[in-house]
Amino acid sequence: MATDEEAPFQQTGWAGLRARLFHLYFVLRRPMTLGVRGLIHDAAANSVFLIRHTYVPGWQLPGGGVEVGETMVEALARELAEEGNIALAATPVLKSMHFNRRASRRDHVGLYLIENFSQTAPKLPDHEIAEAGFFPLDRLPEGTTPATLRRIAEVFLGEPASAYW
């Protein structure tokens, strides 16, 4: 069901199998999955924070799954700390909700805009994050995923929010 522009970001090989196994685990553990992503905007530099995982192709917004007993904002704060050494300085703004049909038939993602934050230190590569950093909105890195580009256009260019991730 991927479009031609999304084809380079399809998970194949070990990474694809790993992703499917994670989703199988979550299907058994949680019939519906919920995730969060943070669009971290440094207004002074007009830049956004993106990450590149070690196991998924492309540059994307940081985030991850909401665990049992966790609020969406708590999950967002945890994921931002893990993936970017970023701490929320104010309550983030929920911009949109999306059905992530590429991940599974039961995955939903909440997108938050974060403009009040601090970064305790630059994020160094580790087993999960290959690269991370701030990029000017007019010079996003090659390989930024189509979903990430859509979310940025929805928030900053006034494009209508899609129901789909």
Q: Does the model's pTM come out above 0.85?
A: no
The DSSP bridge partners found for residue 152 are: none
- Are 72 and 66 in contact by the 8 Å Cβ rule? The answer is yes
pLDDT tens sequence for the chain (165 residues): 567 787 777 777 877 787 778 777 766 766 788 999 999 999 999 999 999 999 999 999 999 999 989 999 999 999 999 999 999 999 999 999 999 987 777 899 999 999 999 999 999 999 999 999 999 999 999 999 999 999 999 999 999 999 999
- Are 80 and 87 in contact by the 8 Å Cβ rule? The answer is yes
- Tell me how far apart the alpha carbons of residues 109 and 149 are, in angstroms, rounded to a whole number: 15
- Are 52 and 129 in contact by the 8 Å Cβ rule? The answer is yes
Give the domain ranges of the chain. 33-156
**CATH no. of 33-156:** 3.90.79.10
